[in-house]
Chain A
Amino acid sequence: GIQVEQSPPDLILQEGANSTLRCNFSDSVNNLQWFHQNPWGQLINLFYIPSGTKQNGRLSATTVATERYSLLYISSSQTTDSGVYFCAVTNNAGNMLTFGGGTRLMVKP
């Protein structure tokens, strides 16, 4: 099946700093989503981005499908950005999401 790798696994930032999270995948994809799992365990949809670039406030994401990677940018980080960020994909043959291992982000005040 398709493999999804995320980096870095852990990230500590000072409030106000910017960061880039990376997601590599091993096959062409039909769907790519970024999620934020907050400290209460909820999985929050951030982006649906099988290709191209999208922005939502301080967050933006870019997927380069031909090179099999996606990037999530967080600018001017806040303590409420803390949590785990997951990238998940489906390939052309399947419908279920395959998740990466996540990036655990801690933003310090």
Chain B
Amino acid sequence: DARVTQTPRHKVTEMGQEVTMRCQPILGHNTVFWYRQTMMQGLELLAYFRNRAPLDDSGMPKDRFSAEMPDATLATLKIQPSEPRDSAVYFCASGLVRLGRGRNSNQPQHFGDGTRLSIL
């Protein structure tokens, strides 16, 4: 079965360091999502891309977070500088969205195994 691949699986680093998380979406999927899971907030969307173009990053703190998709096989999420409150599990998901008039046709989203990030 095709899978979304995320690296690294775990990351521990000190406050102030740059963190880069990577995601390889499922081949053929045109939409890539970044979600964050914390005990307090649960699972929430940070940003998403369609056909590599950013569509919504309103859930992301702009001053320190950046998300890019340099090519169709790679999405990155960077935090610089990192802070202890950024500690969380970061999930990447991909899906196929067919645009329609007034209503999109969404196929199921598939999630990677996540990156467990700890900022000391």
- Residues on A lying within 8 angstroms of B by beta carbon are 30-31, 33, 35, 41-43, 45, 48, 86, 88, 90, 92, 95-99, 101-102
B103 touches A92 (CB 8 A): yes
CA distance A96 to B50 in the complex (A): 11
A45 touches B108 (CB 8 A): yes
A102 touches B42 (CB 8 A): yes
Known contacts A97-B109, A99-B43; 14 further A-B pairs (Cβ under 8 A): A30-B104, A30-B106, A42-B114, A43-B91, A43-B114, A45-B110, A86-B43, A92-B102, A95-B104, A97-B35, A97-B43, A97-B93, A99-B42, A102-B42
How many A-B residue pairs lie within 8 Å, measured between CB atoms? Answer: 55
Q: Nearest chain-A residue to B50 (Cβ)?
A: A95
Interface secondary structure of A, over-half rule = strand
Cβ contacts under 8 Å, B114 to chain A: 41-43
- Residues on B lying within 8 angstroms of A by beta carbon are 31, 33, 35, 42-45, 48, 50, 55-56, 89, 91, 93, 95, 97, 102-111, 113-114, 116
CA distance A92 to B35 in the complex (A): 20
A43 touches B111 (CB 8 A): yes
A41 touches B43 (CB 8 A): no
Tell me which of A92, A96, A102 contacts B33 (CB under 8 A).
A96
CA distance A99 to B103 in the complex (A): 20
Cβ contacts under 8 Å, B48 to chain A: 95-96
A95 touches B97 (CB 8 A): yes
CA distance A96 to B54 in the complex (A): 13
Report if A96-B108 is in contact (Cβ < 8 Å); known contacts: A41-B114, A42-B114: no
B106 touches A31 (CB 8 A): yes
A96 touches B89 (CB 8 A): no
Cβ contacts under 8 Å, B44 to chain A: 99
Q: Pick 13 A–B contacts, CB within 8 A, sort by A.
A: A30-B104, A33-B109, A41-B114, A42-B114, A48-B107, A92-B102, A95-B31, A95-B95, A95-B104, A96-B45, A98-B45, A101-B42, A102-B42
B110 touches A97 (CB 8 A): no
Cβ contacts under 8 Å, A31 to chain B: 106, 108-109
7 shortest interchain CB distances as A-B pairs: A48-B108, A99-B43, A31-B106, A43-B111, A96-B45, A92-B103, A42-B113
